[in-house]
Amino acid sequence: MTDRMLTYREAVREAMTQAMRRDPEIVVMGEDIGIYQGSFGVTGQMYKEFGDRIIDTPISESAFVGCAIGAAMEGMRPIVEIMFSDFMTVCWDMLVNQAAKMHFMFGGKLSVPMVLRTAAGSGTGASAQHSQSLEAMLCHVPGLKVVAPSTPADAKGLLLAAIADNNPVIFLEQKTLYPTTGPVPEAADPVPLGKAATLRKGTDCTIVSYGRMVPRCLKAADMLEKQGITVDVIDLRTLLPMDKDAVRRSVKKTGHLVIVHEAVKTGGLGGEIAAAVTESDAFYALKAPVARLASRDVPVPFSPVLEEGVLPDEAAIAATVRQLVR
């Protein structure tokens, strides 16, 4: 069964479809998600099965995200699609001041079970306003949960968990991952939020990553293995709440930590991951400084040479690990 291969895009669609068949309170809202099938083709032909539960909205992120929040407060379980994650800044108030705060400031008497799915990250030539990785900004807001799956199976399982969660969950789908394939179980089994996955086991170094950079870390691990260096590769999967224990446990074993993310380095989650180790007893296991590999601190450039050039590749990841463990 698990040999069935799906694309990441199909896995997201399958999660929504299976959840919607079970729960009539789930609706999907967003721009051009009906007959147009979504800008990245994620909703596909769902409009045929679900009719008016697939709600095309005017271009007005604040209005439809706010509308989803209101509907969620009143018993629905909306999934909203924001075409590009950069457009979250257009409805920042709805995420930061509304969705994240409602449960707390109203004394726990209402909740916002909403999932906001959005296409994030660079790699498609979409340039500076359509390619950002803004997850660190989201993780700075208590009340939100932030998820960034790297595989089709996790895309499905984590989305099912996000839909079942009673909090606002921001679900970041790295857009270059949409056509990637992997085995995906047919059953609608959620993958729990807040749990990292260790994708590779080793003894010399811990590589922590998420989203688009995970496949690069795995390639780096392959390269290193040929040179006799074995590593743990930890895919965080959920960024808020973060599975810091998984990172600490691994570092205690390996004594080295390399963090890899696509978002720019300054103010990025790498700092938070490093602090999770240095403020715990895992600090004493470190045999070398922590290394962070991330995008250079620039807006995402257009030229493919520059767009790729500002990011760490597998060779850079492998080289960093080699240097640390030497």
Partner 1 sequence: MEQKEELLAKMYYRMNQARFFEEKVSWFNSKGKINGSVHLAIGQEASSVASCLALDEKDFITMTHRCHAQAIGQGMDVKKMMAELLGKETGYCQGKGGSLHLSNMADHNVGSNDVPGMGYNLACGIALAQMLQKTGNIVLCFGGDGSTNEGDFHEALNLASVKQLPVIFFIENNYYSVSTAIEDHMKVESITDRAAAYEIPAVSIDGNDALEVYDATQKAAEFVRSGEGPMLIESCTYRMCGHDSSDLQLYRSKEEMEEWSQYDPIANLKNQLKEDQLMTDEVLRQLEENAKRSVNEAADFAENAPEPSLEAVLDSVYA
Which residues are annotated as catalytic?
61, 130
User: Per CB under 8 A, does 164 bind partner 1?
Assistant: no
Which member of 18, 43, 57, 295 binds partner 1 (CB under 8 A)?
57
User: Per CB under 8 A, does 97 bind partner 1?
Assistant: yes
Pairing of strands 231-235, 205-209: parallel
Nearer to partner 1, 241 or 304 (CB): 241
User: Per CB under 8 A, does 176 bind partner 1?
Assistant: no
**DSSP summary character for residue 4:** -
* Cα–Cα distance, 124 to 131 (Å, whole number): 8
Which member of 17, 39, 41, 67 binds partner 1 (CB under 8 A)?
67
How many angstroms separate the first and last alpha carbons of the chain?
43
How many residues bind partner 1 (CB under 8 A)? The answer is 42
3-state secondary structure of 132: coil
Task: Name 147's bridge partners.
Answer: 171, 238
CB 178 within 8 A of CB 271: no
Can you give the C-alpha Rg of the chain in angstroms?
19
Span of 69-77, 154-162, 231-239, 263-271 interacting with partner 1 by CB under 8 A: 69-77
Look up residue 247 and give its amino acid.
V
Token pair listed for 44? 């596909």
User: Per CB under 8 A, does 95 bind partner 1?
Assistant: no
User: Per CB under 8 A, does 62 bind partner 1?
Assistant: yes
Q: How many CB atoms lie within 10 A of CB 33?
A: 25
Task: Name 82's bridge partners.
Answer: 118
User: Per CB under 8 A, does 75 bind partner 1?
Assistant: yes
Task: Report in angstroms the alpha-carbon separations of 91 from 61, 66, 99, 269.
Answer: 6, 8, 11, 22
Please, what is the minimum distance in Å from the beta carbon of residue 169 to partner 1?
11
User: Per CB under 8 A, does 142 bind partner 1?
Assistant: yes
Token pair listed for 71? 């509907």
User: Per CB under 8 A, does 228 bind partner 1?
Assistant: no
Span of 75-83, 171-179, 216-224, 282-290 interacting with partner 1 by CB under 8 A: 75-83
Could you say which residues in the range 98-127 bind partner 1, by CB under 8 A?
98, 102-113
User: Per CB under 8 A, does 94 bind partner 1?
Assistant: yes
Count of alpha carbons within 13 Å of 211, Cβ hemisphere only? 28
Which member of 27, 177, 196, 242 binds partner 1 (CB under 8 A)?
27
Please, what is the minimum distance in Å from the beta carbon of residue 280 to partner 1?
20
Site for partner 1, rule CB under 8 A: 27, 55, 57-58, 60, 62-76, 78, 93-94, 97-98, 102-113, 142-143, 145, 166-167
